[in-house]
Amino acid sequence: MLSDKSTHSPQDQNASDHNVEIITPLKVRRRGGQPDSSHPWRLTVTSILFVLIVLAIISAGGLIFIRHLSKHPVNLTDDTDQTAQSKVDAARKQIFDAAKTTGLQIDTMTKQAPVPLAQQPTETRQTVDPTLRVIEKEKAERGLAEFLKLKKGIEKKGVAEWGGEKYEEMTNLSREADALLMNNAFHKAAEKYAYVGKIAAELADNTEAVFQKLLEEGRTALEDGDSNIARQKFHTALMIEPSNEPAQRYLERAEKFDAVNRLMESGENHEKNNRFAFAHADYQEAVKLNPESKEAQKALDRVKEQIVGEQFQKLMSDGLAAYHSGNHQSARTKLLKAQSFRPDSREVQNALVQVDEAIRLDKIEKLRQKAMTAEQTEDWDQALKSYLEVLTIDPNISFAIKGKERSLEQIRVAKRMRFFLQNHDNLESNQQLQNAVLVIETAEKLQPRGPRLSLQLDELKVIVDAARTPVKVMIESDNLTEVAVYKVGKLGRFTFSELSLRPGTYTVVGSRNGYKDVRQKIIVKPSRKALRVTIICRNKV
Listed by start position, the domains of the chain span 1-23+45-70, 94-205, 380-468, 469-541
Cα–Cα distance between 455 and 326 in angstroms, integer? 44
DSSP string computed for 417-484:
HHHHHH-GGGGGSHHHHHHHHHHHHHHHH-SS--HHHHHHHHHHHHHHHHHHS-EEEEEE--SSSEEE
pLDDT exceeds 80 at position 54 = no
Cα–Cα distance between 244 and 240 in angstroms, integer? 9
pLDDT exceeds 80 at position 243 = no
**Beta-strand relationship, 531-534 and 471-476:** parallel
Name 116's Cβ contacts closer than 8 Å, sequence gap at least 6.
none
At 45, which helix (H) or strand (E)?
Answer: helix 39-71
- What pTM, to 2 d.p., does this model score? 0.40
Tell me the average pLDDT across 370-392.
91
pLDDT tens for each residue of 216-239: 878 787 666 666 777 777 777 877
Q: What is the pLDDT of residue 519?
A: 93
Q: Which residue, 523, 387, 527, is CA-closest to 379?
A: 387
Residue 17's pLDDT band, with cuts at 50, 70 and 90, is very low
Q: Which residue, 76, 192, 193, 86, is CA-closest to 133?
A: 86
Residues 279-295: b if buried by 16+ CB within 10 A, e if exposed: bbbbbbbbbebbeebee
Tell which CATH classification among 2.60.120.260, 2.102.10.10, 3.40.50.720, 2.60.40.1120 matches the domain 469-541: 2.60.40.1120
Q: Which residue, 190, 162, 156, is CA-closest to 176?
A: 190
pLDDT tens for each residue of 128-147: 578 888 888 888 888 888 88
Cα–Cα distance between 137 and 135 in angstroms, integer? 5
Neighbours of 26 (CB within 10 A): 6
Cα–Cα distance between 253 and 231 in angstroms, integer? 9
- Comparing 19-28, 470-479, 521-530, the range with the smallest average pLDDT is 19-28
